[in-house]
A = this chain, B = another copy of it.
Amino acid sequence: MKPILNFNQLTAHLRTLNERKRVAVVCANDPNTEYAIVRAIEEGFAEFLLIGDSTVLKKYPALEKYPEYIKVMHVENPDEASVEAVKAVRENQADILMKGIVNTDNLLRAILDKDKGLLPAGKVLTHLAVMQIPSYHKLLFFSDAAVIPRPTLQQRIEMIWYAIHICHNFGINKPRIALIHCTEKVSAKFPHSLDYVNIVELADAGEFGDVIIDGPLDVLTSCERESGDIKGIYSPIEGQADVLIFPNIESGNTFYKSVSLFAKAEMAGVLQGPVCPVVLPSRSDSGLSKYNSLAMACLICNKK
């Protein structure tokens, strides 16, 4: 498999697989979610179970157009919709969970429920996103812009594992993973930079398999070869990072929002940790972004 370098290639690759993943959508009450659903049906890689409010779902023109690919479950309220969607995954009626217009907290409560939820004991819940940036030559994955405020060393290691698996799904056999900081210096003032030393040692010992992990590095040295050259810093990442692991949620979130706004990047993202990929877009995400996230989830979903 050749590496998938952009979102068009992602769609093209999914088309070649010729199989539909089953997606349970909680409260698909908005035009952007509908755009994502209809397009995924038309591209041929997904079918849907829409769980929500009957009055809203009645309005879906797609329901009449694609009755073989859309089932509907009417429920009374968003809480119930979340619970039913989680149940559908547990009972093997769905491979992927997707959030429509429902409060994230409602859905997370159902996912994190100890008895009836989707997160196996001991697994780390984290957000992994990918951007197609017009001024970068390939996709750029990053974590965590949305869930873990200040990861522990163990959580960082799990984030890296998730990223490696996703990279493999995207055909990137030897991912280059940059551990982000504001400089290249390790300092006890910044505990995450000490974690990075540990992680690089683990990587050098072969713990993560065939990867290149380096840090602390800043975003420039990670993604632009020239910057490292000027500063006299050599990193095996060589300014060609596939993955950026951010030190905390503020920096991850700043990256996501400033690059999507100012560099006109297209975005996709999923929650990792639960037994199935969870598409958890922000309400303000575009239809295209919701579609890309859905496509990403279908690619990395190992079920079926």
Write the residues of chain A forming the contact surface with B, with a CB cutoff of 8 angstroms. Answer: 133, 135-136, 145-146, 149, 180-182, 189-190, 218-220, 223-224, 226-227, 230-231, 246-255, 257-265, 282-284
Contact = CB atoms under 8 A, between A and B. Distances in A.
A250 B150 CA distance: 12
Contacts of A133: 262
A157 B283 CA distance: 32
5 contacts: A223-B261, A224-B261, A230-B283, A231-B284, A255-B258
A182 B145 contact: yes
Contacts of A190: 149
A262 B265 contact: yes
A262 B149 contact: no
Contact of A262 (B189, B250, B259): B259
Given A149-B189, A262-B135, A249 B182 contact: yes
A254 B180 contact: yes
A146 B218 CA distance: 12
Contact of A261 (B180, B182, B220, B261): B220
Ranked 7 nearest A-B pairs via Cβ: A182-B253, A262-B263, A219-B257, A250-B251, A230-B284, A263-B263, A251-B254
A21 B189 CA distance: 37
Given A182-B253, A257-B220, A259-B259, A284 B247 contact: no
A220 B250 contact: no
| Of listed A145, A218, A248, A250, residue having the most chain B CB within 10 A | A250
A258 B190 CA distance: 20
Contacts of A247: 250
Contact of A218 (B135, B181, B227, B257): B257
Contacts of A250: 180-182, 246-248, 250-251
Given A248-B248, A250-B250, A258 B219 contact: yes
A257 B230 CA distance: 15
Nearest to A249: B182
A99 to B, nearest CB: 14
Contacts of A252: 182
Nearest to A149: B189
Given A219-B258, A255-B255, 7 more contacts: A180-B254, A182-B250, A220-B284, A231-B283, A251-B253, A262-B265, A263-B263
Nearest to A284: B230
| Of listed A145, A227, A251, residue having the most chain B CB within 10 A | A251
Contacts of A149: 189-190
B227 A284 contact: yes
B182 A146 contact: yes
A177 to B, nearest CB: 16
